[in-house]
């Protein structure tokens, strides 16, 4: 298979030097890319800014903003068999980006924010014969919020984890079906979780749809 994997954070710039973002390390997405390569798949890795090197053997597409993520994914998805979306997309961006650098004046400033594109929902809306696996990082009402995301984004399944996963070497995830059933529970290093999740995709997500 050829798999599209998104990883890492996106950035939304306030001015030419400051931006909104999050603490995603990209480790889960990079671990999934490595696991997919080890299982003989092709990988298109669309990655935000992270410190770790990409796994050898995958095609790497580096982006910063959510719009750049959207554009690259829409270009790549038609040639892929499915997508695993682990990228921690910045949900809001400044309504206007300031040219140059904002100078301190000793007074408060107000930022007006607007929502960024829902990249996974757009991919899910045009998936056709392809499969879509989403990730949900939740801290409040996790299952209901994860199921809402699954349905809004037309996912085949969604991987639920919590904020303890950010920057961690380990992860604990629950994989939920469109019927709100628990397909699997995985716990371990992110590399171990990634390999088990790829195995689940191969046996329970891909084959039933062929």
Quick: pLDDT tens for 115-139: 999 999 999 999 999 999 999 988 8
pLDDT confidence of residue 209? 45
Q: In this predicted model, what pLDDT tens digit does every residue of 20-60 receive, in sequence order?
A: 999 999 999 999 999 999 999 999 999 999 999 999 999 99
pTM of the complete model: 0.94
CATH of 2-97+112-209, picked from 3.40.190.290, 3.40.50.150, 3.40.50.10300, 3.40.50.300, is: 3.40.50.10300
Count of residues making up the chain: 210
Give one word for 145, left, alpha or beta, with left for phi > 0 and alpha for psi -120 to 50.
alpha
Q: What are phi and psi of 41, to 5 degrees?
A: -90, 160
Q: How far apart are CA 167 and CA 155, in angstroms?
A: 25
Q: What are phi and psi of 102, to 5 degrees?
A: -65, 130
Which sequence spans correspond to the domains of the chain? 2-97+112-209
pLDDT confidence of residue 189? 95
Q: How far apart are CA 142 and CA 74, in angstroms?
A: 28
Which sequence positions are flagged as catalytic? Answer: 22
* Structure tokens, 100: 């140059």
């Amino acid at each position: 298979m050829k798999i599209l994997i998104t990883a890492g954070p996106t950035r939304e710039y306030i001015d030419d030097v400051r931006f909104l973002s999050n603490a995603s390390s990209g480790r889960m997405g990079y671990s999934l890319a490595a696991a997919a390569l080890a299982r003989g798949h092709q990988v298109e890795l669309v990655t935000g800014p992270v410190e770790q090197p990409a796994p050898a053997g995958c095609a790497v597409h580096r982006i910063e903003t959510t719009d750049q993520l959207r554009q690259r994914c829409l270009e790549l998805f038609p040639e892929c068999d499915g997508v695993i979306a682990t990228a921690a997309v910045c949900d809001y961006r400044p309504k206007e980006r300031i040219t140059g650098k904002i100078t301190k004046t000793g007074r408060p400033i107000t930022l007006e924010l607007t929502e960024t594109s829902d990249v996974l929902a757009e991919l899910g809306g045009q998936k056709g014969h392809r499969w879509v696996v989403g990730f949900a990082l939740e801290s409040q009402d996790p299952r209901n919020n994860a199921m809402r995301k699954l349905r809004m984004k037309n996912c085949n399944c969604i991987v639920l984890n919590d904020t303890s996963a950010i920057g961690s070497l380990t992860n604990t995830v629950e994989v939920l079906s469109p019927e709100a059933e628990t397909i699997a529970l995985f716990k371990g290093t992110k590399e171990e979780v990634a390999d088990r999740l790829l195995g689940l995709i191969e046996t329970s997500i891909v084959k039933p749809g062929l």
